[in-house]
Amino acid sequence: MPRMGFDRHLKELENDLLLLGSMVGKAIDRSTQAMKERDIALAKQVIEEDKLINCKRFEIEEKSIELMATQQPMARDLRIIVAVLNMIVDLERIGDHAAGNAKIVLMLGEEPPLKPLVDIPRMAVKTQEMLNRALGAFINRDSAEAINVINDDDEVDNLYDQVFRELLVFMAEDPHTISRATRLIWAAHNLERSADRVTNICERVLFVITGKSEELGSSNY
């Protein structure tokens, strides 16, 4: 027997999560674009719009709590709501990392660019792709895809290694670059952490499907 009202609320909750996910994906994209193009106005916009991400997160949290309080969800229904409550924390934090990178754009300001950015944008593209696939795996209850995304985190880790090594060389060769290079390492680190957060989301997808909580990501950082 269907529970039409409750099923509709659950679907709305999933749609809200997707919306939050797309806001966060956009923040990653724009903060990276701002960094690449040294676009201060765009960076400020990302920082400003992070407030909307935070609001959306609390809105979803409130709806989840109301559903738990009023609908007595059990088994998979309960796991979906618990998973959503966990995933919004990860999403909001990824949004914070994107806003963090936008702040780095402001810090770098008018300083001459150290080098054209290549690997940091690649990290951003990969992280965003992982995020989209993780949310797709949630909607489709696709455990194989969730595991694939977790495994893909290695690519982001490798890129981070590469960025780190490259910037160390810059710093070793010319101490004048230390401040700029350190900030770029922070930016790369923010993206590396974001991808780790995506693996958390995938673990919650597996929790919804199997009921088991397991730490599957094996990041070096």
* CB nearer another protein, residue 69 or residue 144: 69
Residue numbers at the binding site for another protein (CB under 8 A): 1-6, 62, 65-66, 68-72
Q: Could you tell me the smallest distance in angstroms from the CB atom of residue 1 to another protein?
A: 6
Q: Could you tell me the smallest distance in angstroms from the CB atom of residue 55 to another protein?
A: 18
Q: Could you tell me the smallest distance in angstroms from the CB atom of residue 75 to another protein?
A: 15
* CB nearer another protein, residue 5 or residue 112: 5
CA distance 109 to 127: 25
- In the chain, the largest separation of any two C-alpha atoms, in whole Å, equals 70
H or E segment and range at residue 193 = helix 178-210
* CB nearer another protein, residue 37 or residue 66: 66
- Whether residue 195 contacts residue 120, with contact meaning beta carbons closer than 8 Å, is answered with no
Tokens of 52: 């909307």
* CB nearer another protein, residue 85 or residue 209: 85
Q: What are phi and psi of 9, to 5 degrees?
A: -65, -40
CA distance 147 to 135: 13
CA-CA-CA-CA dihedral for 24, 30, 35, 39, to nearest 10: -140
Q: Could you tell me the smallest distance in angstroms from the CB atom of residue 8 to another protein?
A: 9
Q: Could you tell me the smallest distance in angstroms from the CB atom of residue 114 to another protein?
A: 51
CA distance 57 to 55: 5
Q: Could you tell me the smallest distance in angstroms from the CB atom of residue 81 to another protein?
A: 13
* CB nearer another protein, residue 4 or residue 41: 4
* CB nearer another protein, residue 71 or residue 132: 71
**Angle at alpha carbon of residue 199, lines to 195 and 204, rounded to 5°:** 145
